A = this chain, B = another copy of it.
Amino acid sequence: MRRTLAFDADDTLWHNEGHYAETQESFRALLRPFHDDAWIDARLHDTEMRNLQHYGYGIKGFTLSMIETALELTEDRLDGAGIRRVVELGKAMLDKPVAPLPGVTEVVQELAGEFDLMVITKGDLFDQETKLVKSGLGLHFSKVEIVSEKDESTYAAILERQGIPASRFTMVGNSVKSDILPVLALGGRAIHIPYHLTWTHEVVDSPVEASFPVLKSIRDLPALLRSW
């Protein structure tokens, strides 16, 4: 039985947070006549957190949160053209091409010969399926799990459903909170490949007690796996 190697998708296989950051800069530009940048950012973050229970993760919910924030920050004075601009910012995010991060395509191809490869990603079902198709990576993964939250119970359910013992499961991702800690807690292995941006919501509050390998690039992954 081959070991299972699972990858996070956003900011592990392809850029994601960068698109949010770019969009947020356009959003700030729209509201700059009314408020300063730090205040706009703080209010948008508050709206997103408040709406997470309604919308979950993903671009559509983010777009609705931008609209709500824009109305709040302008006391409903943002005009129709401004709202239309926000709707278009959201659509432009959805229409972005999905280019694998440097090294991803080669490494995934190489490892597909040795491991059962999976994708385990959080977010909007439709968005994530579309991105996997656009990335051209889909065929290398024998299983794709799109989930609404990546915590210990989610991973436990996936492993049970797929009949994978935790000892034969390795997760690779950019989020310590979502990709590393819950997998270690279950007795699996996890490898952290940081991305240069981390969404505030994914930042771990307290110092991390666990130890796990951290790689600078996915290109170093095959050598690490061979050393185990």
Contacts and interface: CB of A to CB of B under 8 A. Distances in A.
Interface of A: 54-58, 60-61, 63-64, 67-68, 71, 74-81, 83-84, 87, 90-91, 94-95, 124-127, 129, 146-148
A64 B54 contact: no
Nearest to A162: B161
Majority secondary structure, A binding face: helix
User: This chain: how many copies in the complex?
Assistant: 2
A15 to B, nearest CB: 19
A13 B83 CA distance: 36
Contacts of A129: 148
A60 B71 contact: no
Contact of A71 (B63, B64, B83, B90): B83
A90 B56 CA distance: 14
Contacts of A55: 60, 94, 126
A77 to B, nearest CB: 6
Contacts of A91: 54
Nearest to A52: B126
A60 B56 CA distance: 10
Contact of A80 (B76, B127, B148): B76
Given A57-B126, A64-B90, 20 more contacts: A54-B94, A55-B94, A56-B124, A56-B125, A56-B127, A67-B87, A71-B84, A74-B80, A76-B79, A76-B80, A76-B81, A76-B83, A76-B84, A77-B80, A79-B80, A124-B124, A124-B125, A124-B126, A125-B146, A125-B147
